[in-house]
């Protein structure tokens, strides 16, 4: 089965740029979605179809996907961005949804 | 506004059964694919099952296949998950979520309901 690999943690200083990666075999051929989950809350969609921002998501959030790595980039990081982030794809046959293991973003 | 409200969670013994419900409002439930996703305590997200708009297409994660049954009632704008033969490893917060179809993102999520399987 298809596996998505995320770093367990990423740390960044306020105002800097955070990059969270999601690795998978030829992931560039898949559409990748990203979710933010703050403690005690439900996940929230922040990027869909590799790089589309849903309404209400700040422009500081962006996504890219190529080769074996998809990346969620958060510019000008704020304390409120501290959360767990998950990438997600559909398997090739459309019968399973796959989540990455999640990355905890810490704002120093 | 959009709401997905899960209910039915609780404490159940191993081997027991439980039915979760998800009541939808504020969007066109009958035009939405629906899914259940769970999260064990301190762990990541795990997809459980999804159901198509018509209810004719259903898929399950291997970990729950044969034990869980997803269903929907568009007249009531509700999604269900019947869980049988529950195991300790099924302990998790269960979220319902909506999406547009195969390949799509989960754009609306409920707040979740906790299922604890323990003797």
pLDDT at B102: 87
**Residue in A closest to B96 by C-alpha:** A42
pLDDT at A40: 94
Give me chain A's average pLDDT, please: 96
**Residue in B closest to A36 by C-alpha:** B45
Mean local confidence (pLDDT), B16-38 = 96
B50–A45 C-beta distance less than 8 A: no
Give the three-class secondary structure for B105.
coil
What single DSSP character describes residue A5?
B
pLDDT score of B101 more than 90? no
CA distances from A66 to A12, A29, A72, B9 (A): 24, 8, 12, 40
Q: Report chain B residues whose CB lies below 8 A from the CB of A43.
A: 37, 45, 95, 106, 109
pLDDT at B93: 98
List the 78-117 stretch of B: residues with Cβ below 8 A of A: 95, 102-107, 109-112
Contacts of A102 (CB under 8 A, 6+ apart): A6, A8, A37, A84, A85, A86, B44, B45
What single DSSP character describes residue B15?
T
Q: What radius of gyration, in Å, describes the C-alpha atoms of chain A?
A: 13
Mean local confidence (pLDDT), A58-64 = 98
Q: In this complex, which of A33, A41, A96 lies closest to B59 when CB atoms are compared?
A: A96
Percent of chain A past pLDDT 70, that is, above it, reads 100
Q: Which residues pair with B51 in a beta bridge?
A: B34, B58
For the stretch A47-56, what's the b/e string if a residue is b when 16 or more beta carbons lie within 10 angstroms of its beta carbon? bbebbebeee
Q: Identify the band that residue B107 occupies on the pLDDT scale cut at 50, 70 and 90.
A: very high
Q: Is A57 within 8 Å of chain B by CB?
A: no
One DSSP character per residue, A21-87 reads EEE-TTGGGS--EEEEE-TTS--EEEEBTTTBPPTT--TTEEEEEETTEEEEEE-S--GGG-EEEEE
CB B99 within 8 A of CB B35: yes
pLDDT at B41: 97
pLDDT at B11: 98
- Give the count of beta carbons closer than 10 Å to the beta carbon of residue B28: 11
Mean local confidence (pLDDT), B49-58 = 95
**Residue in A closest to B5 by C-alpha:** A42
């Amino acid at each position: 089965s298809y596996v998505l690999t995320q770093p367990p943690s990423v740390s960044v200083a306020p105002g800097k740029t955070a990059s969270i990666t999601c690795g998978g075999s030829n992931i560039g051929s898949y559409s990748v979605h990203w979710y933010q989950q703050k403690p005690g809350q439900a996940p929230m969609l922040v990027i869909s179809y590799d790089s589309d921002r849903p309404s209400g998501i700040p422009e500081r959030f962006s996504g890219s996907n190529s080769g074996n790595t998809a990346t969620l980039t958060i510019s000008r990081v704020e304390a409120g961005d501290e959360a767990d982030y998950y990438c997600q794809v559909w398997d090739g046959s459309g019968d399973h949804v796959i989540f990455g293991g999640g990355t905890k973003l810490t704002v120093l | 506004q959009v709401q997905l409200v899960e209910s039915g969670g609780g404490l159940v013994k191993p081997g027991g059964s439980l039915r979760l419900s998800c009541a939808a409002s504020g969007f066109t439930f009958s035009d939405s694919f629906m899914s259940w996703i769970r999260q064990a305590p301190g762990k990541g997200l795990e997809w459980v099952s999804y159901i198509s708009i018509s209810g004719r297409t259903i898929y399950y994660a291997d970990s729950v296949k044969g034990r869980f049954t997803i269903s929907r009632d568009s007249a009531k704008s509700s999604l269900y998950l019947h869980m049988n033969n529950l195991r300790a490893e099924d302990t998790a917060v269960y979220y319902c979520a909506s999406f547009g179809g195969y390949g799509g993102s989960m754009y609306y999520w409920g707040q979740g309901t906790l299922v604890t399987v323990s003797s």
